Chain A
Amino acid sequence: MNCSDNTEVNAESALNCADAPAVLAREAGVPFQPPIGSVSGIDPIAEWLSLMEVVQMLCPVWPVRDKPMQGSHWRL
């Protein structure tokens, strides 16, 4: 269920949203953890793309790395 859909709002959907804190957290732009496993049907990368569409609308110019990778501890 997408709690942010701009569709008819009723008591039942409001209750379902209240029972789905992960979805609400996503809608607020807060990191969230989709249930692990294929049963949930949630693809985290698809969720990320959805999140980034909103982020890019709010923040069209996202700063790229302002300094090169640094450090001398390359051990992997």
Chain B
Amino acid sequence: MSNLAEQIREALSMFARNGTAPALIGGLAVVAHQVVRATKDVDFLVEAEAADRVHDALLDLGYQCPYRSEDAANYVRAAEGLDLLYAHRPLARRLLAKASERETPMGRMRIISVEGLIGFKLQAFVNDATRTRDLDDIRALLKIHRASLNMDEVREYFALFNKPELLNELLG
């Protein structure tokens, strides 16, 4: 198994030991939703109440934490990175609660819904407009899952970030 897979397996084990069940978000969640591309983004949505104990556990695993806020945290360990978003608002809590569980080569893990993933990708882009990769991911997810997407929910996220016209652009 690759170092990347081992890193994820180790993280899943750590989450289980700490009694929390995060959901995969970010680039790897995009992969899980059928858009296979190269990424080393290991991002999880974690319940905010678990932030401190997960932080301590990651430091015990040798990670350093260059940034942490009430919304997100970045961890690095040599060439490995791991990012957390904290679910403390109702929308994120709802998305975390309804994440689906899936068997993967690294073990069972929960994965955010396509609609929720689009919402988080949009949030990342709004926070940093240089992250055009996020727009590419949203465009690909919309294209693949258009027939099954809850478009009302997707529109809700674009309205939340005052970007309703962007959704129309991405839908082409």
A-B contact number at CB 8 A: 107
Binary contact track A33-71/B, C-beta < 8 Å → 1, others 0: 110100000011111110111011000011011001111
Which listed residue, B35, B71, B83, touches A74 by the CB 8 Å rule? B71
B140 to chain A, nearest CB (A): 7
Q: A65-B74, A75-B123 are in contact. Are A46 and B37 (CB under 8 A)?
A: no
A75 to B34, CA, bound (A): 26
B109 to chain A, nearest CB (A): 9
Q: Are A52 and B2 in contact (CB under 8 A)?
A: yes
Residue of chain A at shortest CB distance from B41: A65
Q: Are B31 and A72 in contact (CB under 8 A)?
A: no
Residue count of chain A within 8 Å CB distance of chain B: 32
Residues of B within 8 A of A21 (CB): none
Q: Are B83 and A65 in contact (CB under 8 A)?
A: yes
B-side interface residues toward A, CB under 8 Å?
2-5, 28, 31-40, 66-67, 69, 71-72, 74, 76, 79-81, 83, 89, 91-92, 95, 104-106, 119-120, 123, 126-128, 140, 144-145, 157, 160-161
Q: A52-B2, A65-B81, A71-B127 are in contact. Are A33 and B144 (CB under 8 A)?
A: yes
Residues of A within 8 A of B79 (CB): 61-62, 64
Q: A69-B72, A75-B161 are in contact. Are A52 and B40 (CB under 8 A)?
A: yes
Q: A48-B31, A71-B126 are in contact. Are A55 and B38 (CB under 8 A)?
A: yes
Q: Are A48 and B127 in contact (CB under 8 A)?
A: no
Binary contact track A9-41/B, C-beta < 8 Å → 1, others 0: 000000000000000001001011110100000
B159 to chain A, nearest CB (A): 11
